[in-house]
């Protein structure tokens, strides 16, 4: 779960690489480094810390060259330190290599290589690869890379350069993403699109177990066992501006504000409002298959798991099909009972989350049909699934997921309408009404965003809290979980999301006059019950912050603080209710001086188990 960026062209490589690494910093930010080739030699500069520290180092001791590779790290094996930073080099310093992933058999390889005389400098798993490449190097870096990779188990995206072969970067991937960007006179490699979109929209996705040799005007791809691969470049439609902060203080804030637009874009081309017809281009599910399934399993991690949980409530209610929602890592190792009547729906912003990919492999191996809901076009998850629905959220850079969540909700909602229609559990009039309700969401969301200043003010009262509880019922429960996750990940305040009714079975013991309790108290079928839960909190001295439907007086009388959101049906309300919770977490984090876009210990896409 690191970031890799490489450049080969006619300009100085370091500025491109540093700029690229800054864009990738969300993937990991505990150390960084760069290696370049110039005048027959390889130069390496690396250090513990963020890219800013690497930049300082490079200002003090510049390194030149028109090709190079860079890395920003999220430590797995070996603590963050100068010596554990990438690039790692061979014993003779003639090969430099960066890696994203985990080499599972590194201890055994390290022992063997040490016995053969290789001297290790770091405690990383990565360093074994560069020594293996050195061992096999006989004047052909690509060949040596191929031989080395035959011996490693685990996951990798790799880029390497070699003193004896100027003008070439050799890359490979298995289980971790790597993209090659092509321009007229230069080429780039990157872990993701936002880092290269500024330079080119013409990209080639490397597939698992492929090796590529990149030259300024040429790319040559082959499989790990040497078979040539022909692949046409893909044109990326993302706007380069979408990968910039655009005047906002943080990506998280920008992405919160982008939600109305992102939802409009996600739904616009998929629905016919008058006929309530829903269409997904790459779903690859026949109506008879939709009728054939007797069960849906959603699988995901983190925020995407919360979106999936909303899916359970929607699908069971409107498509009348049993649904389970599984944490991907638990599902894959549990010997799950799955067959061809099971539809697995994997939800992921990045499409690269290792646990989610593992769950997909497991389900496929057991005969399930797999579709994914994913934001990154061409991601591993999209490619591993039988069908895919892309959320059109655009690049999400802030580590805390925001617009990916609400667009996932929109897609799951539309999928529910489609399933309900095909399975004949959703009358046409109801389907039309549901589509109309969804169409109103972007405008209503804008009205919620207009309350930003109120939420900011509220955050002033609570930014010194040490704990918080988030309660919800029905579709408000996943929103409570999501609100709590947002707060803990960006502000480091301990927060728990709970089904409001479960509070009395334990967490109620936590409530005292210092405990802020955020309650999702919008109108809906469980409204009276939630009012009762508010009373229970108040009776124990807790501070209630309610999210309520516009015009509600009952909640206002009971709660200490209230944020109104426009009235909506329960089915679409999560998309609105989560917005003030995102803003609340954001402003609390800012007031606490936290690094909002890159919270400690986290990384945007978790490509390790
Ligand atoms: O890319 P994915 O949606 O698969 O990522 C899953 C989680 O890692 C992610 O949602 C994580 O929980 C975010 N930091 C939440 O804000």
C-alpha 479 to ligand 1 mean position (Å): 15
509 class by beta-carbon count within 10 Å (0-12 exposed, 13-18 middle, 19+ buried):
exposed
C-alpha 348 to ligand 1 mean position (Å): 7
Q: What is the mean pLDDT of the chain?
A: 94
Please give the C-alpha separations between residue 93 and each of 35, 164, 167, in angstroms, as whole numbers: 11, 11, 17
**Strand positions, DSSP E, 217-360:** 218-223, 228-229, 234-235, 271-272, 277-278, 295-300, 323-327, 342-348
> pLDDT tens-digit profile of 9-54?
999 999 999 999 998 887 878 899 999 999 999 999 999 999 999 9
What are the DSSP calls for 441-453, one per residue?
HHHHHHHHHTTHH
* CB-CB contact of 128 with 101 (8 Å): no
CB distance 350 to ligand 1 below 6 Å: yes
Can you tell me the mean pLDDT for 268-283? 92
Is residue 539 predicted with pLDDT exceeding 80? yes
CB distance 266 to ligand 1 below 6 Å: no
Of 453 and 236, more confident? 453
Concerning whether 604 is annotated as a catalytic residue, the answer is yes
C-alpha 255 to ligand 1 mean position (Å): 15
CATH 3.60.20.10 location in the chain: 3-242
Question: Residue 105's pLDDT is what?
Answer: 94
Is residue 1 predicted with pLDDT exceeding 80? no
Distance CA 291, CA 129 (A): 49
CB distance 372 to ligand 1 below 6 Å: no
> pLDDT tens-digit profile of 276-290?
999 999 999 999 999
Distance CA 162, CA 96 (A): 7
Which of 70, 19, 20, 72 lies closest to 603 in space, CA to CA? 72
Is residue 175 predicted with pLDDT exceeding 90? no
Can you tell me the mean pLDDT for 89-96? 97
Q: Which residue has the tokens 């309300």?
A: 573
Question: Residue 436's pLDDT is what?
Answer: 96
Catalytic hit among 2, 162, 171, 374: 2
As a CATH number, domain 443-599 is 3.40.50.10490
Can you tell me the mean pLDDT for 517-523? 96
Element (H, E) at 462: helix 452-462
Atom of ligand 1 nearest to the CA of 302: 12
Neighbour-count burial for 4-31, b at 16+ CB within 10 Å, e otherwise: bbbbbbeebbbebbbbbbbbbbbbbbbb
Is residue 395 predicted with pLDDT exceeding 90? no
C-alpha 405 to ligand 1 mean position (Å): 9
Can you tell me the mean pLDDT for 342-348? 98
Can you tell me the mean pLDDT for 414-431? 97
Question: Residue 385's pLDDT is what?
Answer: 95
Pocket test residue of 304, 390, 484 for ligand 1, highest count of atoms within 8 A of CB? 304
Question: Residue 128's pLDDT is what?
Answer: 97
Question: Residue 601's pLDDT is what?
Answer: 81
Question: Residue 245's pLDDT is what?
Answer: 85
Is residue 75 predicted with pLDDT exceeding 90? no
Question: Residue 598's pLDDT is what?
Answer: 85
User: Binning pLDDT at 50, 70 and 90, where does residue 134 land?
Assistant: very high
Neighbour-count burial for 466-492, b at 16+ CB within 10 Å, e otherwise: ebbbbbbbbbbbbbbbbbbbbbbbbbb
pTM of the model: 0.81
C-alpha 484 to ligand 1 mean position (Å): 14
Pocket test residue of 26, 301, 326 for ligand 1, highest count of atoms within 8 A of CB? 301
Task: Kindly report the backbone phi and psi dihedral angles of residue 223, in degrees, each rounded to the nearest multiple of 5, phi listed first.
Answer: -80, 170
Length of the chain: 609
The angle, 0 to 180 degrees and rounded to 10, between the axes of the packed helices 573-591 and 476-491 is 20
Question: Quick one: CA torsion of 206, 207, 213, 216, rounded to 10 degrees?
Answer: -20
CATH 3.40.50.10490 location in the chain: 443-599
With a CB cutoff of 8 Å and minimum separation 6, the contacts of 114 are: 120
Distance CA 566, CA 489 (A): 27
User: Binning pLDDT at 50, 70 and 90, where does residue 378 land?
Assistant: confident
CB distance 176 to ligand 1 below 6 Å: no
Is residue 583 predicted with pLDDT exceeding 90? yes
> pLDDT tens-digit profile of 431-447?
999 999 999 999 999 99
Distance CA 436, CA 576 (A): 15
Atom of ligand 1 nearest to the CA of 605: 1
> pLDDT tens-digit profile of 439-470?
999 999 999 999 999 999 999 999 999 999 99
- Which CATH architecture does the domain made up of 3-242 adopt? 4-Layer Sandwich (3.60)
Is residue 201 predicted with pLDDT exceeding 80? yes
């Amino acid at each position: 779960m690191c970031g890799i960026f490489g450049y080969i062209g006619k300009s100085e490589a370091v500025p491109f690489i540093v700029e690229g690494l800054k864009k990738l910093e969300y993937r990991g930010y505990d150390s960084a480094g760069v290696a370049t080739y110039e005048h027959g030699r390889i130069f390496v500069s690396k250090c513990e810390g963020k890219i800013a520290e690497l930049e300082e180092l490079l200002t003090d001791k510049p390194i030149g060259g028109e090709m190079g590779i860079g890395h920003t790290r999220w430590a797995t094996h070996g603590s963050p330190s100068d010596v554990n930073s990438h690039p790692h080099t061979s014993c003779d310093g003639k090969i430099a290599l960066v890696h994203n992933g985990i080499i599972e058999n590194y201890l055994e390889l390290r022992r063997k290589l040490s016995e053969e005389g290789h001297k290790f400098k770091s405690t990383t798993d990565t360093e074994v690869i560069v020594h293996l490449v050195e061992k096999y190097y006989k004047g052909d870096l690509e060949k040596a890379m191929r031989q080395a990779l035959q011996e490693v188990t685990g996951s990798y995206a790799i880029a390497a350069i070699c003193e004896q072969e100027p003008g070439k970067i050799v890359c490979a991937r298995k289980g971790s993403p790597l993209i090659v960007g092509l321009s007229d006179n230069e080429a780039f490699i990157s872990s993701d699109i936002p880092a290269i979109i500024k330079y080119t929209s013409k990209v080639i996705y490397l597939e698992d177990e492929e090796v590529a040799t990149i030259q300024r005007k040429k790319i040559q791809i082959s499989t790990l066992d040497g078979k040539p691969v022909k692949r046409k470049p893909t044109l990326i439609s993302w706007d380069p501006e979408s990968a910039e902060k655009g005047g906002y203080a943080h990506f998280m804030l920008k992405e919160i504000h982008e939600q109305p637009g992102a939802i409009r874009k996600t739904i616009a081309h998929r629905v016919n409002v008058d006929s309530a017809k829903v269409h997904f281009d790459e779903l690859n599910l026949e109506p008879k298959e939709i009728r054939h399934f007797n069960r849906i399993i959603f699988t995901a991690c983190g925020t995407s798991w919360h979106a999936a949980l909303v899916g359970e409530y929607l699908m069971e209610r409107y498509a009348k099909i049993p649904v389970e929602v599984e944490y991907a890592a638990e599902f894959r190792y549990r010997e799950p009972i799955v067959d061809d009547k099971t539809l697995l729906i994997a939800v992921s912003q990045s499409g690269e989350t290792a646990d989610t990919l593992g769950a997909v492999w497991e389900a496929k191996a057991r005969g399930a049909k797999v579709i994914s809901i994913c934001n990154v076009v061409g991601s591993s998850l999209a490619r591993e699934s039988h069908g895919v629905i892309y959320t059109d959220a655009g690049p999400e850079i802030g580590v805390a997921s925001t617009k990916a969540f609400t667009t996932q909700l929109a897609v799951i909602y539309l999928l529910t309408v489609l399933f309900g229609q095909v399975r004949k559990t959703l009358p046409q009039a109801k389907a039309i009404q549901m589509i109309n309700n969804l169409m109103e969401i972007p405008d209503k969301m804008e009205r919620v965003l207009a309350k930003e200043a109120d939420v900011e003010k509220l955050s002033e009262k609570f930014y010194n809290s040490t704990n918080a509880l988030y309660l919800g019922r029905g579709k408000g429960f996943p929103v409570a979980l999501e609100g709590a996750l947002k707060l803990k990940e960006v502000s480091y305040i301990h927060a728990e999301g709970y089904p409001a009714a479960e509070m009395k079975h334990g967490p109620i013991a936590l409530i005292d006059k210092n405990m802020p309790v955020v309650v999702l108290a919008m109108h809906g079928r469980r409204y009276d019950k939630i009012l009762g839960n508010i009373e229970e909190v108040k009776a124990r001295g807790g501070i209630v912050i309610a999210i309520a439907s516009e015009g509600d007086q009952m909640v206002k009388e009971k709660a200490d603080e209230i944020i109104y959101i426009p009235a909506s049906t329960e089915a679409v309300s999560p998309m609105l209710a989560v917005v003030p919770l995102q803003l609340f977490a954001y402003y609390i984090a800012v007031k606490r001086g936290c690094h909002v876009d890159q919270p400690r210990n986290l990384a945007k896409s978790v490509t390790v188990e």
